[in-house]
Amino acid sequence: MARMHSRKRGRSGSTRPGRLEKPFWVELSSDEVESEVIKLARRGHSKSMIGTIMRDSRGVPLVKIVTGKKVSHILTENEIETPLPEDLSNLVRKALNIRKHLETNHKDLESSKGLNRTESKIYRLIKYYKRKKVLAQDFKYDPEKIRTLIAR
């Protein structure tokens, strides 16, 4: 399937490790990995950043292989929740940056088109998350109010 709002096809990205058992070179136990995940989440890292940090600096290929639980499950067990899902907050952050750019560059029509595309993705995601009951049914996207939910 082609990407939305582009002429590109498919997705590119890294592939996940093939094996489903804990590799022999991982020295951390499951409790140590869980405490490390909790520590990184309390510092304000997102779920994907936690996985990247664990892979690159701690030598854990997948948290689920070592602990038997996903990062999101570990965080919900320890009551560490984010106000918005990660993909939605990334899109909102992008839209806020484009709005900030358009305040100084009114005639930038490409950016205004990019803002329309980004906000249409936001509306589609909000509709999906309302259907899945991740967001409240009365949740509305308002760029001025949502700025307080998004840090940075």
The CATH fold assigned to 86-146 is Helix Hairpins (1.10.287)
Taking only the tens place, the pLDDT of each residue in 83-138 is: 889 999 999 999 999 999 999 999 999 999 999 999 999 999 999 999 999 999 99
| pLDDT level of residue 3 (50, 70, 90 thresholds) | low
- Report helix, strand and coil shares of the chain as percent, to nearest 5: 55, 0, 45
Token pair in block for residue 66: 């070592």
Q: Is 64 helix (H, G, I), strand (E, B) or coil?
A: helix
- Distance, CA of 134 to CA of 86 (rounded, Å): 12
- Distance, CA of 107 to CA of 115 (rounded, Å): 13
Taking only the tens place, the pLDDT of each residue in 21-59 is: 888 888 889 999 999 999 999 998 999 999 999 989 988
